[in-house]
C-alpha cells in the first residue's frame, strides 16, 4: 500500500496501516474529528489526513520541538498541532471548542530520529550529552537529575521503570561515581551500569533497562499515559475508537488494565431481583489486540515489541427505558 510521503530521514512508523485502519474512517466518519496524540514524525497523521474528508479534522500533540517543526510543514487547514503532551488533551480540545472526537490514536514509542540523534541522549550507541527530555524546552535533564537524586530514589526508579533486578547495585555505583566526577555523557553512564550488572540476557546491553527507566521517569511517561487514557475516553463520542500502540510491558499493562476496567463491569448476584436494563453497563468494547507481522519486524526490528490494543466507546443506556444516550 502506498502512503503519503514521509520526511526523508530514516523513520518507520510501526503498525501504520493497522492503527489507522482500526479507527474505521469510512462513511460519515470521514468528516469526523480525530486525535493523533503522538505526532512523532507524522506517519500516522499523514495517513489519517489522507483518509479524512474536507470537513474532517485532525488535532495532533507532541512534546518534542523537532516533531513540532516537522508538523508545521503540513499545510492542511484540517490539521492542528499542539506542542504539549496528550495528557493536556482535555484543555486543548476545550480551547478549540471541540466537545467530542471520533477517534484517538496513541503511538507510545520513542521515534527513531530521537534514538539515533546522539545529542538527545536517549541511546548509548553513540556518545552524547545525558539529556533524555522529550521536550528540551522545559524540565531537568537526566544528567541534572542523576547529580542530585538520593540513592534510594535512583534505585526505586531503575527497579520500577526499568524492571531491573540489579537496581541497588546500579544506584550505588552512580552515587559513588558522581562523588568523583559529574555524570554527563551517555557512554559514561552506560559504562557505570555495565560495571554494576554482572549478568544480562544474551544480545541485550546491560544499560538498556536503566536508560529506559530514566527516560520514562524524566518524561513522566506513565503518568501522562494514565491521564491521557482517561481524557481520551471522556473525549470520545459513542462509537468512537481508541487505538493505542505500546512498546514495553509497563505501558501495555496500564492500557490493558484501563480498558478492562471499562469493559468488564462487575455483575450483581443473578438471584437478586434486578431488571436487565438496571444492570451495570460496560463503557468500552474491546475490539482487537494486534502485533506487527513477521514481515514488518524483519524490515523494522524496533517493531518487535509493539502491541496495539483497540476499543470502542459504547453508548450509555438509560436505566428507566433501556434507550441509548448518544450525546
The pLDDT score that the predictor gives to residue 175 is 98
Q: Convert the pLDDT of each residue in 148-168 to its tens digit.
A: 999 999 999 999 999 999 999
Segment 81-101 shows an average pLDDT of 97
**Residues 268, 200 share a domain:** no
**Residues 167, 82 share a domain:** no
Structure confidence at residue 327 as a pLDDT band (50, 70, 90): very low
Q: Tell whether 2 is covered by a domain.
A: no
**Residues 300, 248 share a domain:** yes
Last residue of a domain, one of 201, 218, 235: 218
**Residues 209, 279 share a domain:** no
Q: Tell whether 160 is covered by a domain.
A: yes
Dihedral of alpha carbons 124, 126, 127, 128, sign: negative
Please state whether beta strands 307-313 and 236-246 pair in parallel, antiparallel, or not at all (unpaired): antiparallel
**Residues 311, 225 share a domain:** yes
Contact 205, 232 (CB under 8 A): no
Please state whether beta strands 307-313 and 284-290 pair in parallel, antiparallel, or not at all (unpaired): antiparallel
The pLDDT score that the predictor gives to residue 141 is 97
Q: Which of 284, 179, 177 is nearest to 240 (CA)?
A: 284
CATH number of the domain that residue 237 is part of: 3.40.50.150
Mark the binding-site residues for S-adenosyl-L-methionine, compressed into ranges.
42-44, 62, 86, 107, 114
Segment 102-118 shows an average pLDDT of 87
Last residue of a domain, one of 183, 203, 218: 218
Mark the binding-site residues, compressed into ranges.
42-44, 62, 86, 107, 114
Q: Kindly tell me if the per-residue pLDDT of 236 is higher than 70.
A: yes
Last residue of a domain, one of 218, 249, 275: 218
- Residue 65: Cβ within 10 Å count: 13
Q: Convert the pLDDT of each residue in 47-73 to its tens digit.
A: 999 999 999 999 999 999 999 999 999
Q: Tell whether 118 is covered by a domain.
A: no
Q: Tell whether 124 is covered by a domain.
A: no
240 versus 278: the higher-pLDDT residue is 240
Q: Please identify which residue in the block is written with the cell numbers 516533531.
A: 67
Q: Convert the pLDDT of each residue in 251-300 to its tens digit.
A: 999 999 999 999 987 666 566 666 555 667 899 999 999 999 999 999 98
C-alpha cell at 73: 510543514
- Domain with 305 in it: 16-112+221-325
Q: How many domains does the chain have?
A: 2
Helices (H), the chain: 16-22, 43-51, 65-71, 89-95, 112-116, 142-148, 151-162, 167-178, 186-196, 208-218, 221-235, 249-263, 294-299
Q: Tell whether 84 is covered by a domain.
A: yes
Amino acid at each position: 500500500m502506498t502512503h503519503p510521503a514521509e520526511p526523508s530521514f530514516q523513520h518507520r512508523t510501526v503498525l501504520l496501516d493497522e492503527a489507522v485502519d482500526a479507527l474505521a474512517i469510512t462513511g460519515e466518519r470521514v468528516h469526523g474529528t480525530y486525535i493523533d496524540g503522538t505526532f512523532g514524525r507524522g506517519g500516522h497523521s499523514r495517513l489519517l489526513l489522507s483518509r479524512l474528508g474536507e470537513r474532517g479534522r485532525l488535532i495532533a500533540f507532541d512534546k518534542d520541538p523537532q516533531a513540532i517543526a516537522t508538523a508545521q510543514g503540513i499545510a492542511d487547514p484540517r490539521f492542528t498541532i499542539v506542542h504539549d503532551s496528550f495528557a493536556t488533551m482535555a484543555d486543548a480540545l476545550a480551547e478549540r471548542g471541540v466537545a467530542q472526537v471520533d477517534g484517538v490514536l496513541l503511538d507510545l514509542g520513542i521515534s527513531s530520529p530521537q534514538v539515533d540523534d546522539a545529542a538527545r541522549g536517549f541511546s548509548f550507541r553513540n556518545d552524547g550529552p545525558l539529556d533524555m527530555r522529550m521536550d528540551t524546552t522545559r524540565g531537568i535533564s537526566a544528567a541534572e537529575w542523576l547529580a542530585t537524586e538520593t540513592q534510594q530514589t535512583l534505585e526505586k526508579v531503575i527497579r520500577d521503570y526499568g524492571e531491573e533486578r540489579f537496581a541497588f547495585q546500579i544506584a550505588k555505583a552512580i552515587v559513588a561515581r558522581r562523588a568523583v566526577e559529574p555524570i554527563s555523557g551517555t557512554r559514561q553512564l552506560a559504562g557505570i551500569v555495565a560495571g554494576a550488572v554482572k549478568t544480562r540476557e544474551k544480545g541485550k546491553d546491560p544499560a538498556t533497562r536503566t536508560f529506559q527507566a530514566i527516560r520514562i521517569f524524566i518524561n513522566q511517561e506513565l503518568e501522562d499515559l494514565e491521564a491521557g487514557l482517561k481524557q481520551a475516553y471522556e473525549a470520545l463520542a459513542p462509537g468512537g475508537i481508541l487505538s493505542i500502540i505500546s512498546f514495553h510491558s509497563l505501558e501495555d499493562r496500564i492500557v490493558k488494565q484501563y480498558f478492562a476496567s471499562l469493559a468488564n463491569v462487575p455483575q450483581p448476584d443473578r438471584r437478586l431481583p434486578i431488571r436487565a436494563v438496571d444492570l451495570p453497563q460496560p463503557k468500552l468494547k474491546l475490539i482487537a489486540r494486534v502485533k506487527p507481522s513477521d514481515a514488518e519486524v524483519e524490515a523494522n526490528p524496533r517493531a518487535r515489541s509493539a502491541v496495539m490494543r483497540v476499543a470502542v466507546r459504547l453508548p450509555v443506556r438509560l436505566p428507566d427505558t433501556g434507550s441509548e444516550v448518544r450525546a
